[in-house]
Every structure is written in structure tokens, then in C-alpha cells.
Structure 1
Amino acid sequence: MRFSFDKIPDLSGKVAIVTGANTGIGLVTARELARKNAHVFVASRSKDKGESAVGLIKEETNKDAVEFLQLDLQSLNSVKVAAETFLTRNLPLHILVNNAGIMATPFAKTVDGIQDQFGVNHIGHFVFTLLLLPTIKASAPSRIVNVSSHAHERAPPAGIEFEKLNDPEAHTSFQRYNQSKIANILFTLELNKRLSGTNVYCNSLHPGVIKTELTRGVVTDWGYWIKPILSVVSLFFLTPDDGALTQLYCATSPEIEEKNLRGKYFVPFGEVGEPITQAKDEELAKKLWDFSENFVKEKLDDDIFNKCYA
């Protein structure tokens, strides 16, 4: 029997952050967490869209404990400020859903000079998670949920071609996306290893193929001629409500703790799936972690990692 909204337990006293919660499956995830009495932070780049989402969630759930948190994953400084803004509240953090993402966008670099899909989908969330990690650990039992995609199955044979990440000619827009999505699973794998002995449950997932705004990157990259095709194809996509179920399962289901489900990759609707071999490569996961940490150390002051590992 598949997971459904009514299987989400009461979340009174729980605090959650959902990135990219102003639209799509992120919005649905934040809404359903709030409906079950969690104190929810809608983390979004756009203040207008984020605050609009907060208003919508409050209206639909009749719950008031919903707040906007400004987070621009294209800027490591913004990520750091967002984490610090939350931490100044001295709240616990029981649920972190790293949901935000961009897909198949034309080649560009983030503010910090790394290819944008890899930067937003992986590096930004890597830093955000690590800055919040001491609080997440102190709030245990707690959950970290990293939204990946079955697109990771089409990553290069090496998994991630680190030396080509910033080469605009090396990969297509979708290949860049695929690499960022395998990074989400590998990050989960290594983070789970580092969380050994804690009551923090860290998992990744493929939410399904969903009708959301994520396709806007495809239109920007390929041109507006693709819009009618996407409109027809999207008739067969999942709704955002169905698309949010798997991450809500990872974030809330008592089964995660009961069955000690850690470092797993889930598929709709809350089933343990099997990622490709490269996504289970522990050496590659460690290489990604080291690459990410070294990149961040060049851009931000080193002591953030001392805080993270405290």
C-alpha cells in the first residue's frame, strides 16, 4: 500500500526546512508538514514567491507556524547567511528537505564560479546541510532528505567528470543535470557514513516525473518551440501532490526509524529503490565530498567546516 498524506504522523513540536518550497513538490511538502503541525520554514530565493507560498500554506492549512527563509543556492554567501539566520532563532531542526533544483538550463556559472546546475543542486545544499548539521544532530531523532532523480542513471560512466564541470562544451544541459543528480545520491551516501552512531536518518529519492516549473530550464535552453511538446508529454506526468509523497515518506514516516532506513535511495511512493552502480561507489562519494569541501574552502572562510564537524 503506497504512502499517502494521511499516513504522516502528528508533527507537533517538530521544526522543518524545505528548500525550493515556493512551488511544485516543495510547496506541497511544506504544506503537508505544516498541516500536521510542524513549524515550517519555506526556503526560497525569491522573497515575493516565498512569502506568497507562506500565505497560501497558512490559508490552506489554517496553521500559523510557517515562515519564509531567504536562500539563494547560487551564492554560497547567501547560503551561509540563510543558515545563520535560522540558527539565530535557537530552534531545533528535525527535518531538512533539500528539494530545490534547476534542470537542463543553458550553461552558466554561479556567483562563486562553478557550473550552475552542479552549484545549485549539489554544492549549495552541501553547504546549507553542513552548516545546519550540529543543530540537526542535537535535535535527533531527525531526518535529512536529498531530492535526486532517476536522471542520475544517465550520468557519465565516471559518474561525475570533475575536471569538465566548468567546460561549456563538455556536456549537454541534461548531462549537467544528470551529474548533479548523481551528486545528490553520493552526498547522501558519504553523509550517512559520517552520521554513523547518530539518530540522524539521511536518505535520497527520485520523486517521479512531475508536472512542475522545473521544465522552464528546458524551454530556456531549447527554445519556445519545445513548449507545446512538453505540454502534451506532461499530461502523463505525476501531479505535484503525488510527486511530494516520496520525500514526505522519507521526512516523516515512522518506518524510517523502525526499519533503520539510512543512506537509501527511494522511488515512488516510498519504496526502496536501486540507484546505478556509480551512485553506490563509496570512493566516488568521498571524492565528491573532498572536491566540494575544497571548493567551498576557497570561497568561504575555513572555519565553517570546524563549526560543521563540531
Structure 2
Amino acid sequence: MGYKKRFVFENIPDLSGKVAIVTGGNNGIGFITVRELVRKNAHVFIANRSKEKTESAIELIKKEIKKDTVEFLQLDLKSLNSVKKAAETFLARNLPLHILVNNAGIMATPFETTQDGIQDQFGVNHIGHFLFTILLLPTIKASAPSRIVNVSSVAHKTIPPAGIEFDKLNDPNAHSTYIRYGQTKLANILFTTELNKRLLGTNVYCNSLHPGVIKTDLWNSLVSSWSSWKKPFFHIGTLFMISPEDGALTQLYCATSPEIEEKNLRAKYFVPYGELGETNAQAKDEELAKQLWEFSEKFVKEKLGDDIFSTIG
């Protein structure tokens, strides 16, 4: 892709004593992220829906790294009750949390709604991570210096002029599958912006990123919806995609690089490999970021009760 690697695995510092959670860490760039955090002595939880797939990933890591500081944490981002239970399960361990990588996501899937009745891409890619992060926030703050990493995408630029059309999220005819995806990736950046405002005065560093165009299974849903004549072009395009190993580098930079603290990098958007990137105008819209937060908070409270955030300082 022509990216210069200013950050590689060898640049990750020793993470002894650090605890991390990586959502969707059983495959793709999430798996590589977990593997390299464990390699550098972090205690890592893979937060994922499938116990079977996650345990297989854990065994692969243990076999290669010869360390057992990696665990499964049950998390289904399509269910707010599951998200709440996952946070409670982790918090019951009374461990610190130094690194949260909100990596899991779905891309350009056919229209469905989550168990809570919201479009599934928006529910998984944003709402689920929103709730998970907020519930873990007191521990993240108490563990500072700490990091929150939200995996976005250059697809945040593929959106309607308004950015996120909240009133059309559940309209299956309002947007294409990829535009729906783009809105969720914009939400990742806007969530980072508003969360950073609320973290002023703390040593919690929250940033977002585009990991690159990566050859992973994430493309399957989008390509399966294409006409047969288009599919050969995708296979040609994979020749120019980067590997999951390279794709994980930018989120590992955000999660571990000493530069984040040394340069006080907050609410930034990074591109491969640890470079500051440029977002579109909608991603810079602080009013839209506030509106997204209020929409997300209201939605969660409607589903789980007004007291869901009562313990959050």
C-alpha cells in the first residue's frame, strides 16, 4: 500500500503488569493484536461471542508464545445484556485495565437488527462498544496511565452529507450496506472525540484509527452481495491489500507506543503505521459527536434502565 512502517512489533515495550481487553481478538488483526500483547507480557482477555473459536485462538497463542496469560471473556455485541454481563464478569476479577482495544466489527452485512432492535452494524460496531467502554471506564481511569483504542476505518468517509442519519438507522432501504458500515466507522471516531472531552484531567488516552485495507474475512459479506462480474476485480484487489500482521500495527501503536503519552496524543485518528491521519469534516463535528453520545446513552437506558450508568463517575 506504500505505507512506511514507522512502528513494528519490536517497538512494543515490555508490558509486564499490564492488563488488556481486545474485542474480537480470535481472528484477523484482533488475533495478531492479542498475540503481540501477550508476547510482550501483558495479561490479555479476548472478548468474543464464540467460546469455541476463541479457545482455539488461545491455544494457538499459547503454543507459539509459550505463555498462558490469555483468557476468554464472553461478549456478544449484538446484545446489551451480554455486554453488561461481560463488563461485570471482568470487573468481578478486581483487576486493573490498562488497555482496551475495541476491535470487533462487522462490515456491509445484509440488513438485520440486534436483540435490542437496532441495525446490527450500528449495534455491534458502535452501541455495544459504547456500553462496554463506559461500564469499564472507572477501572480504566483507576488504572491510568491507560489507553482506549477504537478501530475505525477510512470508510468513515463513505457517508451521507449529514454524517449519521439517526432517524434512518433502522430503515433497510435508506442506505446501501457499505454506507451503513461507513456511518458506524464515523461513529467510532465521534465517540472517541466526545469520550476524550469527558476524560479531560485524566491520564486515559483515547484514540481511533484506520488499520489499512486488509486481507481478512471481514470482506466476505460485502463481496457475497456483488454481481458475479464484479467478484474477479475483488480478487485482483487482494493483491494490493496488507496482511493481518501489518494491519494490527496501527492499533498496537495506539495501545502501546510510549509516544502516545510523551506527545499527549488524544482524540487523534491514525493510519498505517502509526501516522496521524486526516478525517473528513463530519468526523470533526463536535456537535455531531455530542448528539451521538446522547443518542447512544438514551438508547442504552431505554433497554437496560436509567440506572445503568449510576456507578459511573
TM more than 0.5: yes
Structure 1 residues 226, 59: CA separation in 2 closer, same or farther (over 3 Å shift)?
farther
Counterpart pick for 1:284 among 279, 282, 288 = 288
Q: CA deviation at 1:58?
A: 1.1
Q: How many residues get paired?
A: 309
Q: CA deviation at 1:229?
A: 3.8
Distance in 2 between residues matched to 1:304 and 1:20, nearest whole Å: 24
Q: CA deviation at 1:227?
A: 5.0
| Equivalent in the alignment of 2:116 | 112
Cα deviation digits, residues 172-216 of structure 1 (max 9, x gap): 000000000000000000000000000000000000000011012
| Equivalent in the alignment of 1:18 | 22
| Equivalent in the alignment of 1:132 | 136
Question: Which runs of structure 2 are paired with 1:41-190 in the superposition (5 Å)?
Answer: 41-190=45-194
Amino acid at match of 2:241: F
Q: Which runs of structure 1 show a deviation greater than 6 angstroms over 4 or more consecutive aligned residues?
A: none
Unmatched 5+ stretches in structure 2: none
Q: CA deviation at 1:298?
A: 0.6
Structure 1 residues 100, 225: CA separation in 2 closer, same or farther (over 3 Å shift)?
farther
Q: CA deviation at 1:306?
A: 1.6
User: Is the 1:101–1:120 Cα contact (8 Å) retained in structure 2?
Assistant: yes
User: Is the 1:121–1:181 Cα contact (8 Å) retained in structure 2?
Assistant: yes
Q: CA deviation at 1:271?
A: 0.7
Distance in 1 between residues matched to 2:306 and 2:53, nearest whole Å: 33
Unmatched 5+ stretches in structure 1: none
Amino acid at match of 1:302: D
Distance in 1 between residues matched to 2:76 and 2:227, nearest whole Å: 25
| Equivalent in the alignment of 1:205 | 209
The answer to whether the aligner puts 1:249 opposite 2:253 as a matched pair is yes
Helix, strand or coil: the match of 1:222?
coil
Distance in 2 between residues matched to 1:224 and 1:303, nearest whole Å: 50
Give the aligned CA root-mean-square deviation in angstroms.
Answer: 1.2
Identity of aligned residues (%): 75
| Equivalent in the alignment of 1:231 | 235
Helix, strand or coil: the match of 1:307?
coil
Distance in 2 between residues matched to 1:292 and 1:224, nearest whole Å: 38
Distance in 2 between residues matched to 1:193 and 1:95, nearest whole Å: 19
Distance in 2 between residues matched to 1:42 and 1:225, nearest whole Å: 38
Helix, strand or coil: the match of 2:310?
helix
Distance in 2 between residues matched to 1:59 and 1:191, nearest whole Å: 37
Distance in 1 between residues matched to 2:232 and 2:244, nearest whole Å: 20
Cα deviation digits, residues 218-260 of structure 1 (max 9, x gap): 1443377765443321121000000000000000000000000
| Equivalent in the alignment of 1:34 | 38
Amino acid at match of 2:72: F
Cα deviation digits, residues 5-48 of structure 1 (max 9, x gap): 00000000000000010100000000000000000001111111
The answer to whether the aligner puts 1:265 opposite 2:269 as a matched pair is yes
